[in-house]
Amino acid sequence: MPKTRRQFLQLASTAGIGLLTPLGYTGIVAADDPTSWFRNPLGLPPVLEGRLHGGERVIDLSLGYGTSEFLGDRPTPTVGINGAYLGPVLRVQQGGNIRLNVTNRLSEPSTLHWHGLNLPATMDGGPHQIVDPGKTWTSAFKVHQAASTQWYHSHMYHRTGIQVYFGLAGMFIIDDPRGNALNLPSDYGVDDIPLILQDRSFNQNGSFRYASSMHDRMMGMMGQFMLVNGTAFARFDVKKPLTRLRILNGSNARIYNLEFSDRREFLQIATDGGLLEAPVPMRNIVLAPGERAEILVGFSAEKDVMLRHKPLPRPNGSGSAMMGMMAMMAGADQPFDVMRFVAPRDLSKLAEIPVRLVEPRNWSATDAVRTRRFTLNMRMGMGMMQGGGFGINGRAMDLRRIDARVPLGDVEIWDIYNDSPMAHPIHIHNTQFRILDRDGKSPQANEQGLKDTVLVYSGERVRVITQFENYSDAAAPYMFHCHILEHEDAGMMGQFVVVT
Ligand code: C2O
Ligand code: CU
Ligand code: CU
């Protein structure tokens, strides 16, 4: 049954009344026997490759209302793309031309943004490409990127947080011959598994609770339940001894520090922009909202293993007494389980893992034509009390203002300094960059690949280097912003154009 705009708004505003916490759990903290809770088969979004028409892959997407059953007997009103919640995994080939028809069957305007892709600004699906209710917007472009895990989501101005929270997001996988030749696990749903991580809050009646308190707006909206591909208490039955997980932090605000319950080693093989030079052995991985990582995990006959969150080495919001207090109030960073993996007894031996992967694009600092400086601000005191004060270089986002004009093809360093008490994942549209340094130090091996989102801790200075290629348009801006969606909605976003 279609919902009116008013109903949609109401769903989001039943603030904290009868908030649901998982039984046996204190907030999101693990119970004594967490495994018993995790028995819902992990949902797998359907794959959509589109139909071939006139040399293009045509993909039809429709935004609409639905009802989801995350918690069994308590139905949750949601929004989704070609379904009740989230969207299909779009799967396309590098070099291919694609045409995405986005039809909005919601009663409020929306957009769909292709996060991580290099494309014309008018095709980007940002806040200037609004799709009004009942209308269809078409985005057509050539896929330039190499094999990688990208994603897509609503980018409606001031409404991105709530629209993504209710379900407007999905994964976008690019394949290429180079990646295929590596013989990495690539059987979707068998040994190549998408994991879209999202935390959600529920009211007693099962409806989502979305940000309404000052705390939610300042820290970003965090929930008490983990959904993986829209499955709460998810269990995945391992099918192959070597399994590739494509992990997307699709949460509005939560930063994960993921590890396995037995602290096993795994290999990170890809970052936001695609495959790394070589697999990087890891035991934990930090993923901020917007970031992706592909990892290879070995499973053998064994007991269950949980994927879990361990409190961050640099907790968010501890930069000042006030933020530290707010984080504590929220129980913001306690350990919790994300999902469960169950490996059968008869798994065969581990497959061979390639030692070298690819050579991702790189630039040296000496190639840079210029450095642009960006300072991330949160105004404390009154600005903070009003839930405002988010900005970049002292200014909040303004749709009519262009913050930077970048010459097409110039190699540039973007120097991002976080002058606020919280960590912010900064995302730049239309490009993949390299992290040059963090406070002058080279990034860890697993961050030495192509990225489009980088977590900048409180007080930290991160320099990234990139080059905007293929498209210029002095009239149509791309966005750069914090990917904590409540921060983005509150103004921690800017616009740049690529010019010739
Ligand atoms: Cu993932 Cu501007 O967005
Ligand atoms: Cu983006
Ligand atoms: Cu932020």
Mean pLDDT of 395-416: 97
Q: pLDDT tens digits, residue range 200-217?
A: 999 988 999 997 788 888
- The alpha carbon of 455 and the centre of ligand 2 are apart by a number of angstroms equal to 14
Q: Report whether residue 155 contacts ligand 1, using a CB cutoff of 6 Å.
A: yes
* Ligand 1 close to Cβ of residue 128 (< 6 A): no
Q: Which pLDDT score, from 0 to 100, does residue 276 have?
A: 98
Mean pLDDT, rounded, for 452-479: 97
Looking at the CA of 116, name the nearest ligand: 2
Which residue puts its alpha carbon closest to atom 3 of ligand 1? 115
Per-residue model confidence (pLDDT) at position 17: 39
Query: Please, what is the average pLDDT of the chain?
Result: 89
Topology annotation, domain 365-499: Immunoglobulin-like (2.60.40)
User: Mean per-residue pLDDT for 110-128?
Assistant: 98
Could you count the other beta carbons within 10 Å of the beta carbon of residue 129?
A: 18
CA of 48 to the centre of ligand 3 (A): 32
Has residue 251 got a pLDDT over 60? yes
- The helix/strand/coil state of 300 is coil
- Our answer on whether the CB atom of 487 is closer than 6 Å to any ligand 1 atom is no
- Does ligand 1 lie within 6 Å of residue 290's CB atom? yes
Q: Report which ligand 1 atom has the smallest distance to the Cα of 480.
A: 2
pLDDT at 315: 56
Matching fold, domains 5-174 and 365-499: yes
pLDDT of residue 449: 97
State if residue 209 touches ligand 1 by the CB under 6 angstroms criterion.
no
**CB of 113 closer than 6 angstroms to any ligand 1 atom:** yes
Encode 11-44: b = buried (16+ Cβ within 10 Å), e = exposed: bbebeeeeebebeebeebbbeeebbebbebebbb
pLDDT of residue 348: 66
Residues 130-149: pLDDT tens digits?
999 999 999 999 999 999 99
Q: Has this prediction a pTM greater than 0.75?
A: yes
Alpha carbon of 14 to ligand 2 centroid (Å): 30
pLDDT of residue 424: 97
Q: Which residues contact 32 (CB under 8 A, 6 or more apart)?
A: none
Rounded mean pLDDT of 404-424? 96
Q: Averaged over 373-382, what is the pLDDT? A: 82
Tokens at 442, concatenated: 């080279």
State how far the Cα of 279 lies from the Cα of 87, in Å rounded to an integer.
29
Cβ–ligand 1 contact at 115 (below 6 Å) = yes
Contact 330, 222 (CB under 8 A): yes
With a 6 Å cutoff on the Cβ, whether 292 touches ligand 1 is no
pLDDT the model gives residue 34: 59
> CA 466, CA 297: separation in Å to the nearest integer?
31
Q: What integer pLDDT is reported at residue 21 of this predicted model?
A: 56
Residue 404 C-alpha to ligand 2 middle, in angstroms?
A: 17
Contact 479 CB / ligand 1 (< 6 Å): yes
Q: Is the pLDDT of residue 15 over 70?
A: no
Task: Find the 332 Cα to ligand 1 centroid distance in Å.
Answer: 24
Q: Which ligand is nearest to the CA of 485?
A: 3
pLDDT in tens, 61-111: 999 999 999 988 889 999 999 999 999 999 999 999 999 999 999 999 999
Q: How far is the CA of 273 from the centre of ligand 1 (A)?
A: 14
Closest ligand 1 atom to 453 CA? 1
CATH architecture of 5-174: Sandwich (2.60)
| pLDDT tens digits for range 317-349 | 545 555 555 555 444 577 888 999 999 877 766
**35 vs 465, higher pLDDT:** 465
- Is residue 165 within 8 A of residue 210, CB to CB? The reply is yes
Ligand number nearest to the C-alpha of 484: 3
Question: Is the distance from CB of 484 to CB of 418 less than 8 angstroms?
Answer: no
pLDDT at residue 4 in the model: 37
What per-residue confidence (pLDDT) applies to 382? 52
Interval between CA 186 and ligand 2 midpoint (Å) = 25
**Higher pLDDT, residue 478 or 225:** 478
Instruction: For residue range 24-74, list pLDDT tens digits in order.
Output: 344 444 445 656 788 899 999 999 999 999 999 999 999 999 999 998 888
pLDDT tops 50 at residue 5 = no
Any residues with CB less than 8 A from the CB of 59 and at least 6 apart, and which? 48, 49, 50, 90, 98, 99, 100, 101
Percent above pLDDT 70 for the chain: 86
> Closest residue (by CA) to atom 1 of ligand 1?
115
Domain 192-342 is found in CATH 1.20.58.340: no
Q: How far is the CA of 80 from the centre of ligand 1 (A)?
A: 18
Rounded distance from Cα 494 to ligand 2 centre (Å): 12
**424-428 and 404-407: which strand pairing?**
unpaired
pLDDT of residue 43: 98
Q: Where are the domains of the chain?
A: 5-174, 192-342, 365-499
* Both tokens assigned to 58: 């045509």
